[in-house]
Amino acid sequence: MDKFKYDESTDSYTCPQGEKLETKGTWHKKTRDRDSYQYKKYRTPACKTCPVKHLCTGRAKGGREIERSEYAPAVQANNQRYKENTALYRKRQEINEHIFGTIKRGWGYGHTNLRGLEK
């Protein structure tokens, strides 16, 4: 997945071989135990004749399919902030992330209503 480049202007991915994976624009819903989210599927018919298909997908028939979540832009922005401030994020994990993980997983609280640094 990290070898595929997303183009926001055309809402498509480009594979390492230069082929475009496009979406039909349909939002699909994926439901898990406690939550659900929407995503789009990106595909290309060029996978059928691709010389390096075996490196990209294990499917005998069909080709590569990429799912892009509705939250993908927020995830990418967060990853960029993390890369720019790794020391800050490491300190944050040491100080307060542990207790929030305990509250969420150990005590069963999945959400909090706190805002601001003082809280």
38 and 24 belong to one structural domain: yes
88 domain-assigned:
yes
Tell me which residue range forms the domain holding 49. 1-70
30 and 49 belong to one structural domain: yes
pTM of the model: 0.68
Does the pLDDT at position 112 exceed 70? no
Which candidate, 57, 51, 40, places its Cα nearest to that of 18? 51
24 domain-assigned:
yes
4 and 62 belong to one structural domain: yes
Task: Name the residue type at position 76.
Answer: Q
Does the pLDDT at position 82 exceed 80? yes
Rg over alpha carbons for the chain, rounded to the nearest Å, is: 19
Backbone dihedral region of 59: left (phi > 0), alpha (psi from -120 to 50 degrees) or beta? beta
35 and 8 belong to one structural domain: yes
Does the pLDDT at position 88 exceed 90? no
30 domain-assigned:
yes
Which candidate, 72, 92, 95, 67, places its Cα nearest to that of 82? 92
Averaged pLDDT for residues 37-49: 93
Number of domains the chain is built from: 2
36 and 78 belong to one structural domain: no
